[in-house]
Amino acid sequence: MIQGKTIISDEVFVEIVRSAVDHLDSVTLTLNEGSSLFSLAKRVTDKMVPQITVHKTDTVIDENGTVTKGHVSFELKIGVDYGSCIPDVVEELRQAIVKEVVSLTEFYVDSVDVIVARLYHGKTEEKAAPAPSGEVPPEETAETENEE
């Protein structure tokens, strides 16, 4: 076997977390938000990236050939659907992230810190799929009929 160093970038770990979140219905990664001019500038420069922080130590092979696997920990901000049991959702999310990271990278996951920053009440613009063109959503139809 040829020896060499393999480094997995933080961006790869971010993509793994995004994928784990995408498979859960009641969880959404939150974006940098706020109303101040500074916050707006930060959102533009961050390109609306979900808030996921990665801390890792890479796998090390010493001169004797002993392999010390890498370690990684995460901090992420999420939104949860209103009515969902937050502790259950967060635990399911942690398990999904750990499963994906271990299976894809063989890194040890030391911690997954989760900040629940938002609650989503029903379908919001951020989560709802747009209506097909030409169709009026049912809420707008009811309002139009009441006005006549």
**What is the residue whose two structure tokens read 């001169």?**
63
Q: Report the percent of the chain where pLDDT is more than 90.
A: 50
Q: Which domain holds residue 104?
A: 10-147
**Structural domain contains residue 2:** no
Question: Does residue 3 form part of some domain?
Answer: no
Average pLDDT over residues 26-36: 71
**Beta carbons of 119 and 83 less than 8 angstroms apart:** no
User: Does residue 5 fall inside a structural domain?
Assistant: no
Please check whether residue 122 lies inside any domain of the structure: yes
The answer to whether residue 125 sits within a structural domain is yes
Split into its structural domains, the chain has a count of: 1
Q: What's the start-to-end Cα distance of the chain, in Å?
A: 78
Asked if residue 1 is part of any domain, the answer here is no
pTM comes to 0.70
Per-residue pLDDT tens for 42-77?
Answer: 555 554 556 899 999 988 878 887 778 899 999 999
